Structure 1
Amino acid sequence: MNEKYPYVTFLGLHFNLTNDIAILVSAVIVFFLLFWLARKPQLRPGGKQNVLEYLIDFTNGIVKQAMPGPEGNRFGLLALVLFVFIFVSNQIGLIFQVDAGGLTWFRSPTADPVITMGLALIVLVMSHFFGVAVKGISGYLKGYVSPVAFLAPINVIEEFTNFITLALRLYGNIYAGEVLLLLVRQLAFSGAGGPVSFVAGFLLEIIWQGFSVFIGSIQAYIFVTLAMVYTSHKVVSE
């Protein structure tokens, strides 16, 4: 058990409070953000309604790229919520990171592989569910023996590699960004170079935070894009 993060034990299971708190905060932010943007819609949109409509058009575009046919109509809301949630989860650790008593109480939830694997698992389970729902059991299983039957083992292995790459790509980028940000912050407050190290560290932190916002946005886009691509492989007939 990693002792850097606070845990609680329930029924013999250890629960990471850092992840629980971060996920809860991200979910609350996403809920109230989308609720606020969607309040009092008008025929002639302006301000916050334009932001929401842009987000919807943007995520619908991701879905249409993967599923240009009518199959993609049911995944627009999933893509929107998934993109906003991952975007917020990637960014909150840059703004708030709480360390107290030698423990990290708050950071970006996507900086933990358990969270990103959970998100990847949700996507893949839903893709299989909709594959069966759209094509039926026989049509779903037929996808594993296409184009030829002897490729079935490779198609099965691909499901596991999709899960691993979807989860670890997001985790690796966000975790690396937060580690580098922490190192830059330690440089600023180390006092080794006096005022020079503080100014240099402060400037580097501002630059890296801006770059991390860009990386977090790109990773949210990539995750949703791959999620829709994997789902399209299950629901779209070749």
Structure 2
Amino acid sequence: MNDPVSTFKLFGLTFNIGNMVSVTVAAIFVFLLVFICSRGLQLIPSGKQNFLEMIVDFTNGIVKTSVEGSEANAYGIYAFVLFLFIFISNQMGLFIQVAYNGVSYVKSPTSDPIVTLTLAAITLALAHFSGVSKLGFKKYFASTYLKPFKLWLPLNVFEELANFLTLGLRLYGNIFAGELLLGMLSSLAFKFGILSFIPSALVAMLWEGFSMFIGSVQAFVFVTLTFVYISQKVQPEE
């Protein structure tokens, strides 16, 4: 987190150029993947269409596990895009890193807490919006913040803040730690010549494979928790 960054200001706000570039690159990868796999769709899928439909079925399954009934259909596209974006963002820094003058311009976007907390804010904003849209503001506010007792209001507000922080920081912590250790292993590989290169390279390859697994799991966890939070807002307990 103490690495140098390149920023610029616009309308009084500070923007991180590295984050903007990394997020854009990840979004382009998502677009290209979906665009390529969705060309020449057939009634009986095969090859790349099978791969795309497998992801759609997987993310639809996550939604339907938490959100009941026909309401689940409204969130399918969000779950699909969110999962693909986080999955690709988590893996990106393991294979592509571009730096200039010590500043990383292309890395895993999710290795920065600003990006992961932004994703968490979008998720929780959607959950609140969905709850108000379905229940109306008065009923939604009562079911979310005034149960089981009105005195629970401060605790329920604190819970919302805790959900926001844990959702974003869990993803950030796992991806940042993985890339940090991989960078340390890469530096160690050339420190003592051949004596350190071979063992460091072997450990780095093992850790990279493990980091890919963790990145996949974290994408699944984030999307799953997203729809747990949404279900709590649109289907409050009586």
TM-score class normalised by the smaller sequence: over 0.9
Give structure 2 stretches of 5+ with no counterpart.
none
What SS is found at the alignment partner of 1:14? strand
Q: CA deviation at 1:16?
A: 1.1
Q: CA deviation at 1:3?
A: 6.3
**C-alpha contact 1:98 1:106 (8 A) present in aligned 2:** yes
2:186 equivalent in structure 1:
185
Q: How does 1:2-151 map to 2 (within 5 A)?
A: 4-143=4-143, 144-151=145-152
RMSD of equivalent CA atoms? 1.5
1:222 equivalent in structure 2:
221
Structure 1 ranges of 4+ moved more than 3 A: 9-13
The letter for the 2-side match of 1:114 is I
The letter for the 2-side match of 1:234 is K
| Percent of aligned pairs with the same amino acid | 49
Q: CA deviation at 1:102?
A: 2.2
- Paired positions, count: 236
1:154 equivalent in structure 2:
155
TM-score, normalisation: structure 2:
0.94
Q: CA deviation at 1:24?
A: 0.4
TM-score, normalisation: structure 1:
0.94
The letter for the 1-side match of 2:221 is I
What SS is found at the alignment partner of 2:8? strand
1:197 paired with 2:205, answer: no
1:235 equivalent in structure 2:
234
The letter for the 2-side match of 1:181 is L
After the TM superposition, which of the residue ranges 199-208 and 21-30 deviates more from structure 2?
199-208
**C-alpha contact 1:112 1:171 (8 A) present in aligned 2:** yes
After the TM superposition, which of the residue ranges 144-153 and 2-11 deviates more from structure 2?
2-11
Give structure 1 stretches of 5+ with no counterpart.
none
Q: Residue by residue, what CA displacement relative to the aligned partner does 1:189-236 show, whole Å, maximum 9, x if unpaired?
A: 22x1x2121111111111111100000000000000000000111111
**C-alpha contact 1:17 1:105 (8 A) present in aligned 2:** yes
